[in-house]
Structure 1
Amino acid sequence: MFPFWSDYYYLVIILQIICVVHVLKSGRSREWLFFILFIPVIGVVVYFIREILPDITNGSFGENLLRTLWPNGRIQEWEKKVRISDTVTNKMQLADAYAQQKQYDKAIALTLECANTFTKDPGIILQLARLQFLNGQYAASIVSFDKVNTFKGVRMSKAEDELMYARALEQTMETGRAEEEYQKIIRVHHSLEAMYYYGLLLKKQGRTDEARAQFEKTGQEIDLHPRYVRRTIRKWVWLSKKELATL
């Protein structure tokens, strides 16, 4: 009765699966899942245009797809290169490959080895701080972040690094310093992620009105960011809405 639907039913299912995997792997807003699953054809088409096509045009889709289908491929590639030539560059690339697969202990061990060889390289120390944070070694990451700032003419400038530092301070119960860092990141970078985590800190402290203001701010300030950035940070608006519903 519906030959078109019967012919393309399985294709739609496959495309839905691809889109769902992309949502989960890329950290896109979970609201997309309802759109993709319950309005199949339209949802898949809209998601492809809004979220996947930009990845294809900027060249990251192929790399992300390869990482999903062959997660250890990059590790094997760089392990081989390190066996051929154990340079610092190759070791740092291998450490990054380990980190992408959340093998943080191996990544930290390699990065520490490089840091001990090049003690004055702030880039290696900064990467070590990031890995320590991701591995839950918050006190150690604070030490490494602070060391980066001791190098002459070098300061952390990326919002992502500053936010890791703030969250590490919070995790080690230095809430006063953490709050100062959150406020600075929000003031300088208009980071929605910082607003979200600062809101969580305020919520834990029972400062409900201030927490609500931060969560609401994510929706108010997303338009301040370029269009190509908005699609990667929408999840902080979505997560903030979930928190607002609990206040």
Structure 2
Amino acid sequence: MPVALVILLLDITLVYHASRTGRLQPWAFIILMIPGIGALAYILVELVPEMLSGPGAQQARRRVANRLDPEKLYRELSDRLNATDTIANRAALAAECLKIGRFEEAEQHYDHILKLPLGGEPVYALGKANAEFGLNRPDLAIATLEDLQERWPDFQSAEGHLLYARALAEAGRPDEALEEFHAVSAYFPGAEARVRYGLLLKLMGRTPEAKVVFTELLIQMKRAPKYLREAQAEWLAIAEKQLSG
């Protein structure tokens, strides 16, 4: 039997399987438009993890699937919101919009939630500030975060504090940003806050201080568990580059 015919039959079989198991989109397009390779991807991403059924295999499947179709979850959450418009469903969609860079839509969802009788929660104001920052509107993000702090003075968020520092820097207020970076670096989980603090110090011409920040971070992370170093690999690489550069 010719190889081309075998591939065609395999593609048809897998498209049929995808349609029967609710995976038609985007797999039908991938399988048919990339003969052979598309079928192999479907087998590796969908069928093999399904047969193994282990949590590690499932996580790998989700990572690959997200690369192939990064808006799959967005569509699912959009459909869920269209079917049942609740704060929980809208908040889940807004959070996914932030992840995939749909900042304008995220801002609209958070605005809608905050106007609802039960939507007055600081976490939604923080989401709105993230969307504003993503839209390159640091001044609006600062205003939203300051309003959040005024309305909910007991609300604590390392993520929100870091966002506030970043927004100040982007808004051309480096001295204030430096103060906030220094404060959030003391308790922010992970290396991002300290790396951003060091980068701003260096940008402001305070290179010796920046080197101290990077050096202390790297020394501390050398003593950390391997899984933690791997999770912070991106930021640690930046710190190492700043010291060697």
Task: Calculate the TM-score normalised by the size of structure 1.
Answer: 0.69
> Quick one: which amino acid aligns to residue 129 of structure 2?
A
Deviation at 1:239, TM superposition (A): 0.8
Structure 1 equivalent of residue 19 of structure 2? none
Structure 2 equivalent of residue 147 of structure 1? 147
1:215/1:240 contact within 8 Å kept? yes
1:111/1:124 contact within 8 Å kept? yes
Residue 66 to residue 190, structure 1, CA distance change in 2 (3 Å): closer
1:117-169: CA deviation from partner (whole Å, max 9, x where unpaired):
246321211111122223322111111111221234532332x3221111111
1:9-54: CA deviation from partner (whole Å, max 9, x where unpaired):
xxxxxxxxxxxxxxxxxxxxxxxxxxxxxxxxxxxxxxxxxxxxxx
Deviation at 1:203, TM superposition (A): 1.3
Distance 1:211 1:134 in 2: 26
Structure 1 equivalent of residue 121 of structure 2? 121
- Which structure ranks higher in relative contact order (CA pairs < 8 Å, sequence separation ≥ 6)? 1
1:57-108: CA deviation from partner (whole Å, max 9, x where unpaired):
5974443333222212112111211221122221112222222221111111
Structure 2 equivalent of residue 199 of structure 1? 198
2:138/2:168 contact within 8 Å kept? yes
Unpaired stretches in structure 1, ≥5 consecutive residues: 1-55
Distance 1:170 1:153 in 2: 23
Task: Calculate the TM-score normalised by the size of structure 2.
Answer: 0.69
1:130/1:141 contact within 8 Å kept? yes
Distance 2:219 2:240 in 1: 12
Q: Note if 1:112 corresponds to 2:111.
A: yes
2:122/2:155 contact within 8 Å kept? no
Q: Note if 1:134 corresponds to 2:134.
A: yes
Q: CA RMSD in A?
A: 2.3
Identity %: 24
Distance 2:167 2:124 in 1: 19
Q: Note if 1:87 corresponds to 2:86.
A: yes
Residue 81 to residue 189, structure 1, CA distance change in 2 (3 Å): closer
Distance 2:190 2:168 in 1: 18
> Quick one: which amino acid aligns to residue 178 of structure 1?
A
Deviation at 1:228, TM superposition (A): 3.3
- Bigger CA drift: 216-225 or 67-76? 216-225
Distance 2:164 2:59 in 1: 27
Please identify the structure whose Cα radius of gyration is greater.
2
Residue 141 to residue 61, structure 1, CA distance change in 2 (3 Å): farther
Structure 2 equivalent of residue 182 of structure 1? 181
- Count of residue correspondences: 190
After superposition, where does 1:7-18 map in structure 2 within 5 Å?
A: none
1:138/1:168 contact within 8 Å kept? yes
Structure 2 equivalent of residue 23 of structure 1? none
Deviation at 1:224, TM superposition (A): 5.8
Distance 2:192 2:57 in 1: 23
Q: Secondary structure at the match of 1:148?
A: helix
Q: Secondary structure at the match of 1:75?
A: helix
2:126/2:145 contact within 8 Å kept? yes
1:92/1:110 contact within 8 Å kept? yes
Q: Secondary structure at the match of 1:188?
A: coil
Residue 147 to residue 215, structure 1, CA distance change in 2 (3 Å): same
